Structure 1
Amino acid sequence: MEFIPEIAKTAWTQYINSRSLEDNLALLRTEMQELGSRQTDVIVSLHTAEVVDGKKPKAEVSLWLENVEMITSQMTKIEEDCRKVGRYFSRSRVALGNLVIKKIEEVVKLKEKGQFSEGLLANLSLEMEILPTTKLVGRTTAERNLEQIWESLMDDETRLIGVYGMGGVGKTTIMRHIYNRIKSQKIWVTVSNDFSIGRLQNSIAQAIGLDLSNEHDEIRRSMKLLEALKRREKLVVIFDDMWKPFPLENVGIPEDNACKVVLTTRLKNVCRGMNCEKKITVEVLSKEEAWELFKGKLGADVVLSSGIEKIAKLMTEECDGLPLGIITVASAMREKDDIEEWRNALEELKRSTTEIEGMNDEVFPILKFSYDRLKSESVRSCFLYCALFPEDHQTPAKELIRYWMAEGLIDDMGDWEKKVDKGHTILNVLIDVCLLVRWGSTQVVMHDLIRDLAIGITRKSPRFVVKAGIQITGSIDIEEFTEDAERISFMRNEIEMLSGEPNCPKLSTLLLRENPLSGNISHEFFNRMNSLRVLDLSNTQIEYLPASVSDLENLHALLLNRCVRLREVPSLAKLKRLRILNLSDTDIKEVPDGMECLVNLKELYVSSGNAVGRNSLVLPDKLVMYRCDLSSIPCLPHLQRLQTCDIWSCSMEWLLPIRDDSKITSLPSIRQLSLQELPNLRGLCEGVLLPGSFACLTHMFVFRCPVLENLMSLELFQHLQCLKYIHIEECSEMEEVIKGGEEAMVEEEGYNNNNNNTILLPNLGWLELSNLGKLKSFCKQVIICPSLNSILIKDCPRLKKIPLSLADSTTVEYGEIVGSKEWWDALEWDDPNTKTLLLPFFKVGGRRGRKRRAKEESEEVASTSRQQ
């Protein structure tokens, strides 16, 4: 059916309402066929444009394709229901007839939206990804280093640039700033010490959307890459952290000046071996810059006594102008005001040694000083655990804390929720002393130099075997499983099978995730791993678990998520100590034997495709985390002890389907709630809630809920006094986050309507609104949030007002507000002080904004060049 003019829509609606169910079903099939043809055309066009020209689809095109997939999957259910319903009048037949009419209208709208008169593709020269980065330290030196690299990059005669300097001097940070400044097409590849040509090819292919999974010959792979890269204009490839030279042609990098290459390395010989036309040294900080950085990391308001200041300057000199060393040492001494402690710390820094073969004599003693000064063995153990992940691995903070908890690294206080809080406290300690770096809002990473230090320490005690992300293929030599190993990581490799019976009596963590393992695991493999607490086999191709898993009586975490071919697991009856069980996205057909014996289970992750996700599952009383993608959750309101719940990819319309005549006290203990990819979600509750509902909620995450127009009522929102974190992203129909007080909750004592124009949220620390194209308002009331320290607002072009009021003492540590200059200037503010505090975080972005920013930056570079 062609596009329906507005004037004919009423007649069209009357027409389809008058037809029989069978006639409308036939019409729906015809409309679906036409929609499917359009879908095929779009996919083919996108694939060609992505592989040949490196172009990406617009966000609206991606969302449209997702909606088409969703309605296509719904058709199967509709067809099945139509076969079951009789031909005579019944309520079921009427309801089904109404559903078919609704789907016809949805398909027609999708066909209309699928015309894309303005094209399918994003303009990559403007809409390029931005890498998170930190501020450059050492104003003069860092800026001089950056501009020298930028000028070489702008030189048409220069193709290959080498940037070198000692570890921790700031090469990667500078290059991230360079990367974000580049307006042409660009690729970032982390090389690292254990690289291979195949791994580099995979990284580049993934960046440009080229599928090399079926091509195993290195030469043919390079030819395909070469052909794809040649079609891209003004391409810049950045190879970060190179340790030895390699021929660019072996990877597939074009040799002409249309493709520029920049590499960073600790070794000048690598620049020579790569025949770099420009070799640029990243210099250490001057004495003055080093001292300013040291003072800044102690705290802007800190006043040192003359005695302590003298010692602090000596400690700064011990760091030899190395930014990473200065930052870690100063962070370790933050809030220390005892001069005796400072004198002792200086002596410790002078004596500090790693005593590890191959460690840099200048750098690692400085970094180890910060490790040695961690306040407890528990914190040190948690830090070392991070070395098990591959280099530059962006680890979700929640996931990392769960590993620590399952391993028993967090002090056993008997209360699971308190352990979670303690885990976040330890994480913040490691971030505060700069041994971990916060990455975006939910992840952390470890600097490669810090990771080298941790791995060096764990070669002795505690004993780790870390072979993560180094492209091991085939099988593992059983000798790698040493008898004294306490933790082993082979994650993110190409391991096909595990055979033999390793003798690892001390082993407590084994990470095998993100390997094919299509050859599966020998039945006796876990026989002699009786101390094992954490077994991670997630994202592998295993079809079954060996029987020896059933005897791992000390196991605390069994992670099998995204094992899509896994159909059965052995008995879990003996795993009475199990705390975390993740069976989501598996093909398990029956509830595992012994599930009822998991009396200590705290966190359960399941999917609607699992038998364990059906109503036959009896949930343990002590469960505090339940993550599911169920199509309905009849038991949810009754889980009064539930503290964390993630729900994704299901057809639910309401989190709590409460009717107006019901009064429920709902989820009074819930602390963390995540709603992801829910295509039909309309809101939290369609009825009324009693006092205490959501009273403990601290974290709220909403992602890709395309029909959600608002999240909650004002009456509910103003009582969320524990709320710390709000993150809402890619909800295309959301016009306001908090709906004005039209829908009142039950007015009982303590729940009277708010007549004031302000709402106090004393604990709100993080607010993120991203990719909300229709968002006009967050809240009509002014939100007073004295604890706000992080804010991110991006791609919300219709947002007219930011109703935040910040106290004068509020310190926003992380922020990014992206939009056009016109949008920023037109924003309304209830509190002028808030605009002043947030102004440093505003960046020009969006279609027009990025053009303006590019022009401003080019003018700034030109001006700097003239001055020099």
Structure 2
Amino acid sequence: MDQLLSTIRGLDGNTQTLIRKIELLKSLEADVHAELQNAAHLSPKKRKREVEDWLINVEKNIREFESLEQEVQSNIRAYSKQNLAEQVERMTKEVAELVEQGNFSGGLFIEDNESIGQLLLTGPEFLQNFNDIWASLMDDNVLSIGIYGMGGVGKTTLAKRAHDKLLNESKYMPHVFWVTISQEFSIYKLQNYISQALKIGISKESDEKKRTAELFQALKNMGKFVLILDDVSKHIDTENIGILLGMDGCKLVITSRSLEVCHQMGCQKIIKVNTFSEKESWELFSKKLDCVELSPEVEEICKKMTKRCSGLPLALVTLAGSTRGMTDIHEWRDASEELDESCMGQADMENGVLPILMYAFNRLKDPKLKSCFLYCSLYPEDYDIPRDELIANFISEELMDTRLSRRAEFDQGHAILNKLEKACLVEIWTDREVVKMHDLIRDMALTITKHNPRYMVKAGLELTEIPKIQNWTEDLDKVSLMDNSIHDISPDTSPKCPRLSSLILSKNYLLKFIPECFFEQIRGLCVLNLSETSIEQLPNSISDLEKLNALLLGGCGNLVYVPPLEKLRLLRQLDLTGTSIEEVPQGMESLTNLKILYLICCNLKIMPTGILHRLSHLQELTLPYHVLHPTDVEGLKQLELFDGRLNSVSDLNRLIKSQQSEGRLRSYHIIIKKPGEVFGYDEYYPPCKVVHFGNDCLADYSLDVEDNLLPQDIEELLFEGSGLSCCLLDYFPMLNNANDLKKCDIAVEDKIECIMRISSTEEEQQSCGVPFQSLEDLALYCLPNFIGLLKWEGGGAAAPLPRGAFSQLKMLYIYDCGKMTMLLPGSLVQNLHNLQKLDVSNCDEMEEIIGDDGRDPTAKSSANVTLPKLKDLSLMNLSKLKSICKGTMICDSIESISIFNCTELKKFPLLLDGQPSAPRFLKDIKIGRDEKQWWESLEWDHPNAHNVLQPLLRLYW
């Protein structure tokens, strides 16, 4: 930066303006990111497209400025002032525009369905209600507040707005908690909900009084707090739960459809949320309709339709979503007629929302949309439905069109959910990747499924036994009993449900036994979900479910026996993840239609040869890391996800070559271990792109470009005692152009000396590409012969480090590298403008952290070092460390410094930015308890540095 400034200081005033605005832009970017991060933990807010675009442009301009700096530093004489002046002028203008745009007066987020648009948040009655609530929250004499009104009127929106503001209120921060109450709840379940919201432990035993005492004590220790209970449908005795309203500073806020419930719970302040006026209703409907201009005739029809909504925001939004995009007058007339018929005979305003929601459902002309929407109601009320899990279930249930690949099916599933969101029938919380249903919309879906299709949904109700046999009617299509406490099924239970296609018993953690006769009269079953139960063995009658499409047993840790499967020839998905089976189920080689096979089971002893070869349609395959026949995997031409083990680098090469020709493999976690080597325990690894080289698998392989292949899109690369020697890039030259590699760990490698070589000529260096240009996380552990990240070839001045190499590095960890004397050469540091964490420990020969590599004749040993994003610096057990850097270290973003057992260090080069104050983000400086004398003896560049930093000193150990 200093060289850049000295060069451009003689240019016009735009230079200083650009520098100031770049710093302002960085601060503004940090503020926006902080607000986005805070919002991610609250309500389902979506970023505006303009915010996304702004962040992209900010990053682009900052990188361009940093690139300009590097260009000037590397070629200072050749860089013309005229060219520089032109770039400065252009960048100044662009950055100024970004600073102006970054204020986002309209906010960062698109209002979600629950918040019912900006009108609801700014309407006069809403503001009046909010002010009343806020005044009560600030009034120490008001202990409880009730917000009531009919379903869909905006009570939750009002409470959420108060919740969001409380999070920034020092009086209660950070003790502000939100709990959504289902219609069917118990004291035990409510205690669980509250303890989870408070992030405190509570005993699992059934003694409610003991749990009440535990919760009471935890709340008492918190001091002042606010607990918001959303959608309370009946009286809750808070003292029986563990909430004593007399506690100092305790505030309780409830939302309810019932005024009586507010009175029963002793709410001292009760606020009614009224429906919208006719004017407000029309404004909200128009906003959600998102139509530029309506003809007078269409507008008249729309206003007539909005009156049907009786001022209920949920009904208005849903109606607008179901009619959005219509342009023809005939369509509008038909829609109005259809709505009239749907609402005929509905005079009760409270119940009048149901026909509106039903109308929106009926306007889903595509049967796939209807089926997928109704499927969402199989989950418990107020449930956070994982989006990927939901789409996987759509596929298992065959609710969508068949596609050639798993990715294409997921794309179709995402498109369907997006259409349902646009119709305002589901909410998608993008930041958490979950789907939610408003409780009234779920009620509407359950009303539909009382007839055709016919569902029995008793999910999340804490049932201890399955419904009585009379509830299992012959016309049932789907049954969901998930997330209950069912612990047993009577031995003579045999439901007669010939049409039943789906049975969901997942998350019944106490369920251990299913009788043999249970499946005898439900032979049409297509999906059986018993995941996350305590079932120990499956009844043999499962072998006769010949129409079964999906058998889901993931997380059944006690399961040791699965009956023969040879008759289940239609089975497409089999999930045995985490079970305790020791052998693959008998007849699995007959499942030739299988597309999904999850077999990560730690007790599985062997994978019989030839099975995988028979399962040629597999798209996703996960296998235990201690079991594999690699030649089977090589022949799976439709494979898109693979998580498992290969026995050699040659097996990896064959797999990569076969998959490159097909181009399907989109996610993989590959462990390479020699035969007989066991890789710890088996655990599902989240889908990504990882290759892990284990014990001595590289020891017998030559440094041959043709043999040692890696997938081109690899994201994580790990070496653990693999026999890696000399230089990493010698083994895998393709890493010179690995544009997706984000993480690299190298551990317990006795022979490796460096990560990359720097050749003696620029031409030779340029031919190698830009290595590690996307790498964000680099960790080096226990490398006794490692001498440095870089190794120069030949004598004299070497070619410069490729611009962009390591430029995205954020985390650098160096542990137990005994031969390293210098960590970072100066020529590398200039690329590390994104480094956030630097952690070095147990390097016995380390003398310098940042030093002069002696390869750049223009470099000055006393030059300042700038690490603009460094937040965490940790130096530990470096007994010979004498210098962090020769000049001054500039890192205004530093937050934490830890230095232990580095007593040869005489000077700390931290720059205080010319001010008698600590860096503004610095929170603490940690040293050992017996190192206080060493701290007192340190030299500082700033005369007042010791006094300024002393209050931040923390003594450990």
| Fold-level similarity (TM above 0.5) | yes
C-alpha change, 1:421 and 1:555, in structure 2 (3 Å) is same
C-alpha change, 1:512 and 1:270, in structure 2 (3 Å) is same
Q: Which of 472, 488, 502 is matched with 1:509 structurally?
A: 502
Q: Which of 175, 178, 198 is matched with 2:159 structurally?
A: 175
Q: Which of 734, 737, 753 is matched with 1:715 structurally?
A: 737
Report the equivalent of 1:69: none
Contact kept, 8 Å, 2:140 with 2:249, in 1: the verdict is no
CA apart distance, 1:456:
1.1
CA distance in 2, matches of 1:316, 1:704: 60
CA distance in 2, matches of 1:703, 1:472: 47
Contact kept, 8 Å, 1:637 with 1:666, in 2: the verdict is no
Q: Counterparts in 2 of 1:30-69, with a 5 A limit?
A: none
Q: Which of 149, 168, 173 is matched with 1:165 structurally?
A: 149
Report the equivalent of 1:227: 217
CA distance in 1, matches of 2:518, 2:264: 45
C-alpha change, 1:391 and 1:705, in structure 2 (3 Å) is farther
Alignment partner of 1:137 is 2:118: yes
CA distance in 1, matches of 2:658, 2:669: 24
Contact kept, 8 Å, 1:585 with 1:607, in 2: the verdict is yes
Amino acid at match of 1:373: R
Q: Which of 314, 320, 325 is matched with 1:330 structurally?
A: 320
DSSP 3-state at the match of 2:660 = coil
CA distance in 2, matches of 1:605, 1:324: 41
Contact kept, 8 Å, 1:605 with 1:627, in 2: the verdict is yes
**Bigger Cα Rg:** 2
C-alpha change, 1:426 and 1:682, in structure 2 (3 Å) is closer
Amino acid at match of 2:459: A
Q: Which of 451, 474, 489 is matched with 2:442 structurally?
A: 451
Alignment partner of 1:626 is 2:607: no
Range moving further from structure 2, 140-149 or 504-513:
140-149
Q: Which of 496, 505, 508 is matched with 2:487 structurally?
A: 496
Contact kept, 8 Å, 1:551 with 1:575, in 2: the verdict is yes
Contact kept, 8 Å, 1:498 with 1:521, in 2: the verdict is yes
CA distance in 1, matches of 2:685, 2:647: 7
CA distance in 2, matches of 1:288, 1:753: 68
CA distance in 1, matches of 2:384, 2:746: 27
Q: Deviations over 1:719-777 (max 9, x none)?
A: x9xxxxxxx999999xxxxxx9999xxxxxxxx9999xx99xxxxxxxxx99x9xxxx9
CA apart distance, 1:377:
1.9
Alignment partner of 1:312 is 2:307: no
Contact kept, 8 Å, 2:600 with 2:684, in 1: the verdict is no
Report the equivalent of 2:599: 606
Contact kept, 8 Å, 2:379 with 2:480, in 1: the verdict is yes
Q: Deviations over 1:328-385 (max 9, x none)?
A: 1112122211111012112222322499999942211111111010022221111111
Contact kept, 8 Å, 1:550 with 1:574, in 2: the verdict is yes
C-alpha change, 1:304 and 1:479, in structure 2 (3 Å) is same
Q: Counterparts in 2 of 1:106-505, with a 5 A limit?
A: 137-138=118-119, 139-141=121-123, 142-181=126-165, 182=167, 183-256=173-246, 257-299=248-290, 302-353=292-343, 360-412=350-402, 418-439=408-429, 440-499=431-490, 500-505=493-498
CA apart distance, 1:147:
3.7
Report the equivalent of 1:638: 634
Q: Deviations over 1:199-230 (max 9, x none)?
A: 11122233345555542122232222222221
Structure 1 unmatched runs, 5+: 1-130, 721-727, 734-739, 744-751, 760-768, 782-794, 802-821, 825-846, 851-868
C-alpha change, 1:626 and 1:345, in structure 2 (3 Å) is same
Contact kept, 8 Å, 1:490 with 1:512, in 2: the verdict is yes
Contact kept, 8 Å, 2:378 with 2:459, in 1: the verdict is yes
CA distance in 2, matches of 1:243, 1:403: 31
Amino acid at match of 1:399: E
Contact kept, 8 Å, 2:616 with 2:636, in 1: the verdict is no
Q: Counterparts in 2 of 1:547-562, with a 5 A limit?
A: 547-562=540-555
DSSP 3-state at the match of 1:485 = coil
Contact kept, 8 Å, 1:670 with 1:694, in 2: the verdict is no
Q: Counterparts in 2 of 1:562-573, with a 5 A limit?
A: 562-573=555-566
Amino acid at match of 1:546: P
C-alpha change, 1:354 and 1:628, in structure 2 (3 Å) is farther
Q: Counterparts in 2 of 1:695-714, with a 5 A limit?
A: none
Contact kept, 8 Å, 1:584 with 1:605, in 2: the verdict is yes
Q: Deviations over 1:590-641 (max 9, x none)?
A: 1100100111111111214152884757321100112345368746972563
Amino acid at match of 1:252: G
C-alpha change, 1:394 and 1:259, in structure 2 (3 Å) is same
Q: Deviations over 1:39-60 (max 9, x none)?
A: xxxxxxxxxxxxxxxxxxxxxx
C-alpha change, 1:647 and 1:800, in structure 2 (3 Å) is farther
CA distance in 2, matches of 1:328, 1:778: 51
Q: Deviations over 1:40-99 (max 9, x none)?
A: xxxxxxxxxxxxxxxxxxxxxxxxxxxxxxxxxxxxxxxxxxxxxxxxxxxxxxxxxxxx
Q: Which of 502, 520, 531 is matched with 1:527 structurally?
A: 520
Q: Percent identity?
A: 38
C-alpha change, 1:288 and 1:133, in structure 2 (3 Å) is closer
Report the equivalent of 2:12: none
Q: Which of 566, 577, 588 is matched with 2:581 structurally?
A: 588
CA apart distance, 1:492:
0.6
C-alpha change, 1:328 and 1:203, in structure 2 (3 Å) is same
DSSP 3-state at the match of 1:336 = coil
C-alpha change, 1:664 and 1:732, in structure 2 (3 Å) is closer
For normalisation by structure 1, the TM-score amounts to: 0.63
Contact kept, 8 Å, 1:538 with 1:561, in 2: the verdict is yes
C-alpha change, 1:388 and 1:627, in structure 2 (3 Å) is same
CA apart distance, 1:512:
0.5
Alignment partner of 1:574 is 2:567: yes
C-alpha change, 1:356 and 1:452, in structure 2 (3 Å) is farther
Contact kept, 8 Å, 1:608 with 1:629, in 2: the verdict is yes
C-alpha change, 1:424 and 1:661, in structure 2 (3 Å) is closer
CA apart distance, 1:294:
2.6
DSSP 3-state at the match of 1:362 = helix
Amino acid at match of 1:389: Y
C-alpha change, 1:678 and 1:463, in structure 2 (3 Å) is closer
CA apart distance, 1:482:
2.0
Q: Deviations over 1:802-854 (max 9, x none)?
A: xxxxxxxxxxxxxxxxxxxx979xxxxxxxxxxxxxxxxxxxxxx9799xxxx
For normalisation by structure 2, the TM-score amounts to: 0.57
Amino acid at match of 1:344: D
Amino acid at match of 1:375: K
Q: Counterparts in 2 of 1:658-697, with a 5 A limit?
A: 658=653, 665=660, 668-672=663-667, 684=691
C-alpha change, 1:511 and 1:523, in structure 2 (3 Å) is same
Aligned length: 624
CA apart distance, 1:190:
1.7
DSSP 3-state at the match of 1:352 = helix
CA distance in 2, matches of 1:593, 1:293: 60
DSSP 3-state at the match of 2:574 = strand
Contact kept, 8 Å, 2:525 with 2:547, in 1: the verdict is yes
CA apart distance, 1:498:
1.7
CA apart distance, 1:494:
0.6
Report the equivalent of 1:92: none
